[in-house]
Every structure is written in C-alpha cells, then in structure tokens.
Amino acid sequence: DMKVTQMPRYLIKRMGENVLLECGQDMSHETMYWYRQDPGLGLQLIYISYDVDSNSEGDIPKGYRVSRKKREHFSLILDSAKTNQTSVYFCASSPDWAYEQYFGPGTRLTVL
C-alpha cells in the first residue's frame, strides 16, 4: 500500500525553539514537497526536492530549510520557530514532478 508518513502528527513548541518535521515515503518517488496550509490561504509550497541533495525553494521558503539525504526521507527544519509558523504542514511525493502527488496526513504545529 503506497504511503506517505509524517512525524510527529502534533507538536507544540515555544518561540525560538528548533523544530524538525519528518516525512517518509515507501514508493521510491524522486520528488518530494513540503506545504503549509492556513485558513483562507490554502496550500502553499515551501520547498521541493527533486532527489537526494537536490532541493529548490517553493513559494514561501523564508524561515525554513530542508534536508534530503535519502530518497525516502525529507525533513523540514525551522531554526528558531516563530509564532506565525503555527500551521498544518503537509508532505507530498510524486514519481516525477509532472505527475500525481501523494500527500501525508499532516503535522499540526503550534508555536507559542
């Protein structure tokens, strides 16, 4: 069964703390994505990874960085989290950037 997993599912952090969100996929997909979803703004793309160590900024990369050292794992890092980074974060993967994307269940991050 094709699957994208995200850990943790819920996270509460204080402003200034570091945050690590993890994403995994078992489909050997080349391309992976990080999005955030906020009410009224829909889904916004943070970063794309085309393969291991081949990452590209999305529409809202400021305040985030990513790491992809293995094809099946893609991490989103917030160094010194801010309250406006409170959101639901989704990871997705696709066999190629031109094809169907598969989404993980999301991580609800609250920054106090």
Looking at the Cβ atoms of 31 and 85, the one nearer to another protein is 31
Looking at the Cβ atoms of 58 and 75, the one nearer to another protein is 58
Structure-token pair, residue 72? 């099946």
Looking at the Cβ atoms of 15 and 41, the one nearer to another protein is 41
What residues line the site for another protein (CB under 8 A)?
A: 31, 33, 42-43, 45, 48, 50, 56, 58-59, 88, 90, 97-103, 105-106, 108
- Dihedral sign for Cα 11, 16, 18, 23, please: positive
- What residues contact 15, with CB distance under 8 A and at least 6 apart? 81, 82, 83, 111, 112
